[in-house]
Amino acid sequence: MKSLLCAVRAALIALSLIAGVANASVVIGGTRVVFPAQDGEVTLRLTNRGDRPALVEAWIDRGNPQSTPDKADVPFLITPPLFRMEAHRDQSLRIIATQPQLPLDRESLFWLNVLEVPPKPSGQEMAGKNLLQFAVRSRLKLFYRPAQLTGDPVKAAGQITWKVVPADPGFALEVHNPSPFHITIATLSLDVGGKHYVADTGMVDPLGALKLGVKGLKQAPGSGTSLSYSVINDYGASTAYKGSIAP
């Protein structure tokens, strides 16, 4: 029975990976989760805005999109992990840290999965008709933030530095993050030789670097060249910044 349940669950998760056009009724109250270590636990609110109940399962992984709840190996507990949500009702998820052995000098990144399985429609309107249903899975970044960290996550995005590096072809921008916080760059652009260039985006690890391609950039920007970028803050909002190319 257990193996059958795992197989069904894996199939639902696989379907959720390709269900980009499916509409979720269960709405998550946020686009990311910040877990302050000193709090011991955080709460996330879910809302079922649909007209039907839904079965919801939640789990955390270390970054594998193919993860399943039975194979999760993380220092957190979620309660409740599996539950039925009635239509137009709220449900709180409690995420509890279980004595995690994680770095104390930087944030650690995990992923929260929320899988919604809609009920099978019933009634005469579906009689004799074919039906294809999808499970809808949402994945949110979960940042575990140690209490001992120095610095301000609000100011971290303004402390990153930029330099030009060779790319194939042309040139790219390399961003360096001296802070202990993850920084997610949502937009990045610069002007060189009278032309406007839009660069790739991504998340820079704490105390790390990330190379971002700039399509069509064949001329190396000089030292001091200004650039514009925006980052996603703890609340999921975008904040704009100005920077410049370092020598």
Report all structural domains of the chain as residue ranges with CATH numbers, in order of start. Answer: 2-145 (2.60.40.10), 153-244 (2.60.40.10)
Give φ, ψ of 38 to 5 degrees.
Answer: -65, -20
Low-confidence ranges of the chain (pLDDT < 70): 1-23, 122-128, 131-132
For 244, phi then psi, to 5°, come to -150, 160
Q: Tell me, rounded to whole angstroms, the distance of Cα 34 from its chain centroid.
A: 11
Integer Cα distance of 44 and 32 in angstroms: 10
Can you give the pLDDT at residue 16?
45
What is the largest distance, in Å, between two alpha-carbon atoms of the chain?
A: 71
Residue pair 46/91 in contact (Cβ under 8 Å)? The answer is: yes
Q: Write the DSSP string, the chain.
A: -HHHHHHHHHHHHHHHHT-TTPPPSEEES-SEEEEEGGGSEEEEEEEE-SSS-EEEEEEEESS-TT--GGG---SEEEESSEEEE-TT-EEEEEEEE------SSS-EEEEEEEEEEPPPP-SGGGTT-------EEEEEEEEEE-TT--S-HHHHGGG-EEEEEE-SSSEEEEEE--SSS-EEEEEEEEEETTEEEEB--EEEPTT-EEEEEBTT--SPPPTT-EEEEEEE-TTS-EEEEEEEB--
> Taking the alpha carbons of 57, 144, 92, 232 in that order, is the dihedral positive or negative?
negative
Q: What is the pLDDT of residue 130?
A: 72
Q: Omega into 119 within 30° of 0, i.e. cis?
A: no
Q: d(Cα 96, Cα 35) in Å, to the nearest integer?
A: 9
Interval 136-181: pLDDT, tens:
999 999 999 999 999 999 999 999 999 999 998 899 999 999 999 9
